[in-house]
Structure 1
Amino acid sequence: MTTTLPASAEAAPGPLAFPPDFRWGVATASYQIEGAAAEDGRTPSIWDTFSRVPGAVVGGDTGDVACDHYHRMADDVRLMAGLGVGWYRFSVAWPRVRPDGGAPNPAGIGFYDRLVDELLTHDVSPWLTLYHWDLPQALEDAGGWTVRDTADRFVEYAVTLHEALGDRVPVWTTLNEPWCSAFLGYTSGRHAPGRQEGAAGLRAAHHLLLAHGLAATELRARGADTLGVTLNFTVADPADPEDPADVDAARRVDALHNRMFLEPIRHGEYPADLLADTEHLGWTEVVRDGDLAAISATPIDVLGVNYYHGDSVSARPAADPGGPSPFPGLDRLSMPLRDLPRTAMGWEVQPEGLTRLLLRLHDEHPGLPLVVTENGAAYDDEVGPDGEVDDPERLAYLDAHLRAVHAARAGGADVRGYFAWSFLDNFEWAEGYAKRFGIVHVDYDTQVRTPKSSARWFSDVARTGRLPDRSQ
């Protein structure tokens, strides 16, 4: 929704400093980098299955090999440590740890045990995400996130990992971007498992939230100190602020994209306007007595904020909607582009939106620490004749968004860290290997890693806590 920035929160172009305790990190996800898809007891995930559906992923790519991180983990950690980052946000592959959603797999657990030890040896703190979209295919075959049992299986999985790693991992995140899991996976079908079933996304969203609540309570009881969830937010602005239909469309997107997930976790209730908007879809039949209390029972200690761009929202339908809408009940919605730069993904570059978002979260949820857990951009990188990769557009993107974070802090927002997405070029979901987000280039034929100019810049920023002058 539209928010006006106070003068104190306008991004400054000159040199800027962050506090000494600000957390600097990089982030990845298991299916996007690990490879080793059928090794050491790992069974298929929904992404293994989905990527084999003709036309689902650009180029017919799969994550079978990805960045081969499973075999190159120690070298990758050394590379990461060499960049001077203090934190690594990674996710764990559920089908590696509990194949088919069943019994624990010692070989799979052992990989993450070694990863955590390697990180700590190199003075990099592990930030663990339990779920970054790779649901075991066997659980999807039983109904996936549209059925309640998946939430119970998630708790078993969380307990298994905490028993193995709880003595060394300081921060535990339950879910990454449940909006994507629910609505891209079960409503629009753009992501795994590829279901286009409208209200199924709402039922999946509820069970994802229930899984968060049940797992958070269990992890807290077992001694986890810092618990969080990571949500992908948008800043939904009406395309025409004078058009009541556009204003209402932006409100609906805000309800389905932002408030549907955060308000149950924080306040134990779904937004009243969301319930009214979606009443005709009949999805609340899956909400049982006590569910919302369970979702909010264990307060989160940190909110992970993923931000890439905002959205211009119109009630006027697009000429070419490009498939089912990811918003249940909003098939006539469109998101017209504005006069803003765009990344290789076609996403608008809107750093001031991040400032507005962080200030809004601070105002609406006072006392809740915020960390930007994903922010980055895909561009068409090229390896130069000297073997180097110069990526000035990505460097400028990171710089602008870090200035936006600094501006939000100046405006009072309690933002305590920033994780660049992504550490490595990787399997970019439905885009396969066609889009590169990494600050480290990966040659997928040779698996050679080459830090880009953005990596060297980010390394200096992380080591010093300072943004150099960009005004000249």
Structure 2
Amino acid sequence: MPIRPFPADFVWGVATAGHQNEGDNSNSDTWYLEHVTPTIFREPSGRAANGYELWESDLDLIAGMGLDADRFSVEWARVEPEQGSYDSAALDHYEAIVDGALARGLAPIVTFNHFTAPHWFAARGGMLAANAADRFADYADALMQRFGDRIAYAVTLNEPNLPRLLSWIVPEFVNQLTRETLAAASTKAGVERYRSSNVVQPEDYDAMEEGLTRAHLAGKAAIKARRSDLPVGLSIAIIDDVAHGEPTVRDRKRAECYGHWLKLARDDDFVGVQNYERLHYDADGLMPVAEGSVLNEMGSAVEPDSLGGAVRYAYEVAQVPVFVTEHGVGTADDSVRLGVLEPALQSLQEAMDDGVPVVGYIHWTLMDNFEWIAGFGSFLGLHSVDRESFERTPKPSAAEYARLVRAASQSV
């Protein structure tokens, strides 16, 4: 069945993230962790996709696809390279992106923290520090003062639940390498504990969750103090976990990985859902992938209906409007991505038919980029990027997404 029209005010967009796209983010904690020995990062980010220089042509790509929203992140490390010292040129840069998006008919959706933070912040313990929430609120206020009057949505934190979620997937040697990376960074920086919110050792999970919770609340308060009408939320990584028979293991995972954040989101204007896969559990744990399944980079089966399942679960718990702030598939085979888009959007529409309020859909990502510890060996973009010239080349999935948006935007 062809895709049916979505509501007229439904938001269609694509997402990028600062550190993953911009390049040379040398004042950040992630950059620092990329360059210690040993490091959990496969390779350093370097110039990434050179997005800091090519932002205008990237906005043209988004507008050229017929989308109406651009989700991007501001790099705290660029805006506040030293504590209390704000870089006016960096603020000018991000303000220009906001204005450039608006000039192209794109609603700016701003993520205030997409994992990375300033080096100085991590050297003081990151989100584990007693005053971390106040520092984040000050930074959020600086952004709001500069361009908060022109943005459409604010996402305080990107996937604060991801480290705990990954703990259900990654082997123990990854946890050990995480510990060694943080220890190496602490020694190199000459501090007791160098901490980052996307390289987290299991011993810090609880404290990191508490620190990020305080940061979200303080950041939201700072944003609302400047503009009470601006919709504010946070995004959560949600795998569509399906129980077969006794749901004990699946429900324990849900409580551990999502429950806290979905309950916290009950007081927000929306909850961001970021879904990439579905996993199946029986009473004994994770079930093997069915033979013959098409696999993504994570080794799980590609199941487009996972989007609808994740959205339904998020709304069931949070009871606030859902915004799909990321969705995609990691694969070097673009034909798989192309084939996922329409059935995934249909599963989303079916959830909406059943009463789930969904604000919009943002695809991850505009282009292949630096995918954190996986380096440049992961492919989720609608455009490929030449590693030397940084030329963006549209994949067939880019045209397919644009076609689906046109079809879904037709009047009922």
> Could you state the TM-score of these two structures normalised by the residue count of structure 1?
0.76
Which whole-Å CA distance do the structure 2 matches of 1:170 and 1:364 have between them? 25
1:337 correspondence with 2:321: no
- What is the root-mean-square deviation of aligned Cα atoms in Å? 2.4
- Mapped contact 1:20–1:465 kept (Cα < 8 A): no
Residue 236 of structure 1: SS of its match in structure 2?
A: strand
Letter in structure 2 aligned against 1:311 = L
- Mapped contact 1:126–1:171 kept (Cα < 8 A): yes
Which whole-Å CA distance do the structure 1 matches of 2:408 and 2:84 have between them? 44
In structure 1, the residue matched to 2:31 is 48
- Mapped contact 2:79–2:86 kept (Cα < 8 A): yes
> 1:233 Cα shift?
1.3
Over 3 Å counting, the alpha-carbon distance change for 1:183 and 1:452 in structure 2 is closer
> 1:102 Cα shift?
3.2
In structure 2, the residue matched to 1:303 is 271
Which whole-Å CA distance do the structure 2 matches of 1:196 and 1:161 have between them? 27
Which whole-Å CA distance do the structure 2 matches of 1:212 and 1:346 have between them? 32
Matching of residues 321-400 of structure 1 within 5 Å: 335-339=286-290, 340-366=293-319, 368-381=320-333, 391-400=334-343
- Mapped contact 1:179–1:257 kept (Cα < 8 A): yes
Structure label with greater radius of gyration = 1
Which whole-Å CA distance do the structure 2 matches of 1:101 and 1:398 have between them? 43
Over 3 Å counting, the alpha-carbon distance change for 1:264 and 1:119 in structure 2 is closer
Which whole-Å CA distance do the structure 2 matches of 1:203 and 1:137 have between them? 19
> 1:314 Cα shift?
6.2
Which whole-Å CA distance do the structure 2 matches of 1:456 and 1:420 have between them? 13
Over 3 Å counting, the alpha-carbon distance change for 1:429 and 1:195 in structure 2 is closer
- Mapped contact 2:18–2:75 kept (Cα < 8 A): yes
- Mapped contact 1:183–1:202 kept (Cα < 8 A): no
In structure 2, the residue matched to 1:325 is none
Structure 1 portions without partners, runs of 5+:
1-12, 267-298, 317-333, 382-390, 468-472
In structure 1, the residue matched to 2:212 is 208
Over 3 Å counting, the alpha-carbon distance change for 1:466 and 1:145 in structure 2 is same
Over 3 Å counting, the alpha-carbon distance change for 1:466 and 1:125 in structure 2 is closer
1:16 correspondence with 2:4: yes
- Mapped contact 1:154–1:215 kept (Cα < 8 A): yes
- Mapped contact 1:88–1:126 kept (Cα < 8 A): yes
Letter in structure 2 aligned against 1:211 = A
In structure 1, the residue matched to 2:110 is 128
- Mapped contact 1:359–1:411 kept (Cα < 8 A): no
Over 3 Å counting, the alpha-carbon distance change for 1:259 and 1:398 in structure 2 is same
Which whole-Å CA distance do the structure 2 matches of 1:364 and 1:145 have between them? 26
Over 3 Å counting, the alpha-carbon distance change for 1:195 and 1:433 in structure 2 is closer
In structure 1, the residue matched to 2:187 is none
In structure 2, the residue matched to 1:248 is 248
> 1:264 Cα shift?
3.0
Q: Which moved more, 1:334-343 or 1:405-414?
A: 334-343
Letter in structure 1 aligned against 2:19 = Y
- Mapped contact 1:27–1:90 kept (Cα < 8 A): yes
Identical counterparts, % of pairs: 30
Matching of residues 99-110 of structure 1 within 5 Å: 99-110=81-92
> Could you state the TM-score of these two structures normalised by the residue count of structure 2?
0.86
Which whole-Å CA distance do the structure 1 matches of 2:254 and 2:227 have between them? 35
In structure 1, the residue matched to 2:390 is 447
In structure 1, the residue matched to 2:60 is 78
Over 3 Å counting, the alpha-carbon distance change for 1:306 and 1:147 in structure 2 is same
1:57 correspondence with 2:20: no
Which whole-Å CA distance do the structure 1 matches of 2:408 and 2:331 have between them? 25
Q: 1:436-470, CA deviations, whole angstroms, 9 ceiling, x for partnerless residues?
A: 10001111111111111110111122233269xxx
- Mapped contact 2:21–2:50 kept (Cα < 8 A): yes
In structure 1, the residue matched to 2:185 is none
Letter in structure 1 aligned against 2:40 = A
Over 3 Å counting, the alpha-carbon distance change for 1:312 and 1:378 in structure 2 is same
Residue 361 of structure 2: SS of its match in structure 1?
A: strand
Aligned residues: 383
